Each structure stands twice: as structure tokens, then as C-alpha cells.
Structure 1
């Protein structure tokens, strides 16, 4: 298996699961991509635990990208908790899950992690919000 950046898709309802299904319909079976859904009645703590289990099961030596549906929602907050739990691992957080960008991501996942992140930033512009960079800005401002 070729080494690729790992990806977790996270959403309210089945959006992430169906986005992955749609991606695979177009691009073929994808390795090292998992989707997680938050359903009514489930809490943030449970979602964090399930996301951590998924994260542990991925081949993440080349970095991990977590893409949630909307900023500030429980899937995004769970991704942020995971990011903060593993500060020494290359994890990038994005919001704004959509099929067009997933298709582009599927074609570049075999590049170096930072190159993949730069390509996503270039592709998405204002479509996605780069959460981890905003977290660092907030942490740096608090240190002043």
C-alpha cells in the first residue's frame, strides 16, 4: 500500500459517511480514510472517544487531516480535542466538508503532509477554515 496522508471526515448525521461513499463512487475505494457521524442523543465526550479510536486505527505516519462539516459544532470540537490531545503528531483541522475538495484531496494524498496542506489551502481559499492555525494564533496571543 502506498503511503498517504490519513483523513477523518466528521459530521452531524450521516453526511461524512455519505461524502466518503460518494468519493469512492467517483474515485474508487479509498484507503486510510474514515468517516464518523454524530447522531441525535450522542454527546461530545462519546464522539471524542470514537474519533480517538478511529485515529488510533489509521496509518498516520504521514500526517492526519480531520475535516468536519461546520466550525464550532460537536464534530469540529471533537477534532479540536483530538488535536490538542496529540500535540506532537502532525494533525491538521479543517471545516467545510464538501465533495469537490475531497476529490481533489484524494488525488494529492500521496504527497508530503505540508505540501498536501498547502494544496488544500490553495484549492479552498475561503471555502474551508483552517482551525489548527487559528488555535495556535490564540495560544500565542495568550502567551503575550
Structure 2
């Protein structure tokens, strides 16, 4: 199973990991790298590189925001020739869907995680008709 690295502004990635673990139990293969308010891209890069140095095998990255510093740091690594699998816009359905695909030995289908994103108000209104 691939290591999953959650990256974000602030502690969002840590909270997301904790929330996923509330549902699925301990997830030792999930690592987090937070960009703190007092840090810049170079600080984040050092922390990210430190995490990947400890990983034995493949990893996948989930980032919070397209165009934000964490995703931009990873984008720079890709543009310099590194092969990194990255998904942006991370949320709980996305991470759980990814973990389920890994457990089942199936390829990750991003559209399956999108199926769990619903306008609940509209959904309820339609059901009440």
C-alpha cells in the first residue's frame, strides 16, 4: 500500500487524518505536512523532503488548495522532473475513497469521491416532493 501524504495550510491535514481515523481506525500509512503561518515555501519543502526521506516505497500526495504554497511546492518538484502522484482539493470522501481503492487493489477513481459531495439541502427537497 502506498504511503499517503496530506499537505495543507495550517493543521487542516492533521485534522483530516484524525477524522479519517475516527471512521477507519489508525492509518499509519498517512503522513501529514502542514504549512504554518510563520513558514514559507522553503520551510515547507524542507519538512516535505524530511517526510519522504523516511518513506520506503511509493507515495501519493493530497493537497488542500490548487495554487496554494503546499501544492505549488509539489508542482515545482514535478516540473523539475520528479514523478509524484498528486490530487488537489482533498476532503474526507476523497481520502476514504482512496484508502478503499488501495485495500481492494483497485485503481483510484476520483469521480467516486465526487459522488459523496452532495447539495444536501437540494437532495432533501427532492426527496420531499
TM-score after normalising by structure 1? 0.70
Q: Which residue of 112, 118, 125 maps to 1:123?
A: 112
Structure 1: which 4+ aligned runs deviate by more than 4 Å? none
Measured in 1, the distance between the counterparts of 2:47 and 2:73 equals 9
| TM-superposed deviation, 1:86 | 5.9
Measured in 1, the distance between the counterparts of 2:71 and 2:26 equals 25
Alignment partner of 1:46: what SS?
helix
Q: Which residue of 9, 18, 27 maps to 2:15?
A: 18
Measured in 2, the distance between the counterparts of 1:110 and 1:45 equals 34
Whether the 8 Å contact between 1:11 and 1:69 is mirrored in structure 2 is yes
Residues 8-58 of structure 1 deviation map (CA, whole Å, 9 limit, x = unaligned) = 100111100000010111101112210111111201011011101111212
Distance 1:111 1:58, change over 3 A: farther
| TM-superposed deviation, 1:72 | 0.8
Instruction: Name structure 2 gaps, 5 residues minimum.
Output: 115-129
Measured in 2, the distance between the counterparts of 1:85 and 1:49 equals 16
TM-score after normalising by structure 2? 0.77
Aligned length in residues:
116
1:92 aligns with 2:81: no
Instruction: Flag the structure with larger Rg.
Output: 2
